[in-house]
Amino acid sequence: MPRKPSPDARERILDVATRLFTAHGVHAVGMQQVIDEFGCGKNLLYREFAGKDDLVVAYLTRCRDTWACMYEQAGVGREDDPAGHLVALVELTAAKVLEPDYRGCGIHNTHAEFPDPAHPAHKVAAEHFATMRERLLDLATRAGARDPETLTDRILLIIEGIYTNGLAQGRNGAARAAGAFAEEVVRSALADRSA
């Protein structure tokens, strides 16, 4: 047993792929480009990933985990404040727009790039959207909104508006208004209880 395959190759390739896919879009990036950028042989990449579709799915999975991490982060210290968690999540999303090289949500971008519902990438993205909605709905419910569905819809509109508008208009776009907006929306949804 003379030699061991490097165990983190998959992750390191995925790092490169994530950067390229995010920056240029999935369609615009060729496998050769990923390989060149990473500096490995084609051998290694095709051993770690069955094909481009597989690589894209892995990319989306990572994006999903990143979002889950963000969700988690927004909840830290707010375990008993689901309303604050909601607002913090919106603020975190809005803050991402300010990052240099902001390129929107990789999942949404990729979802738009693969309209075919049968494509694996499309399915992964669709799943993510569903769970995203569930988690927001859970927060809205626990926050005690009179109509959690509507609050969820509104927060979703704001969050996805941030993604899209941030991509379209950059740091001078609508994202700056999102935090206060979300706060007001949540407050209003809670106040409705007494109505």
Partner DNA sequence: CCGGTCCGGGACCGATCGGTCCGAATCCTT
Partner DNA sequence: AAGGATTCGGACCGATCGGTCCCGGACCGG
CA distances from 184 to 137, 177, 179 (A): 17, 11, 9
Please answer whether residues 60 and 25 qualify as being in contact, where contact means their C-beta atoms are separated by less than 8 angstroms.
no
| Token pair listed for 113 | 């790039």
- DSSP assignment letter at 118: T
CA–CA–CA angle 90, 94, 99 (5° rounding): 145
In whole angstroms, give the CA distance from residue 27 to residue 74: 32
**CB of residue 118 to DNA, shortest distance in Å:** 15
- DSSP assignment letter at 177: G
- 77 lies in the site for DNA, by CB under 7 A: no
Among 15, 31, 96, 113, the residue binding DNA under the rule CB under 7 A is 31
Detail the DSSP E strand segments found in the chain.
Answer: none
Q: Indicate which of its own copies, DNA, none lies near residue 126 (CB less than 5 to 8 Å, by partner kind).
A: its own copies
- 11 lies in the site for DNA, by CB under 7 A: no
Residue carrying the six token digits 């003379």: 2
- 27 lies in the site for its own copies, by CB under 8 A: yes
Site mask for DNA (CB under 7 A), range 96-135, x = bound: ----------------------------------------
Amino acid at 188: S
Among 49, 58, 173, 186, the residue binding its own copies under the rule CB under 8 A is 173
- 190 lies in the site for its own copies, by CB under 8 A: no
- 68 lies in the site for its own copies, by CB under 8 A: no
Site mask for its own copies (CB under 8 A), range 83-122, x = bound: --------------------xx---xx-xxxxxx------
Residue carrying the six token digits 């975190």: 92
Please answer whether residues 178 and 90 qualify as being in contact, where contact means their C-beta atoms are separated by less than 8 angstroms.
yes
- Contacting residues toward DNA, per CB under 7 A: 1-6, 9, 29-33, 39-44, 46-47, 51-53
- Contacting residues toward its own copies, per CB under 8 A: 23-25, 27-28, 103-104, 108-109, 111-116, 125-126, 129-130, 133, 149-150, 152-154, 156-165, 167-169, 173-174, 176-178, 180-181, 184, 188
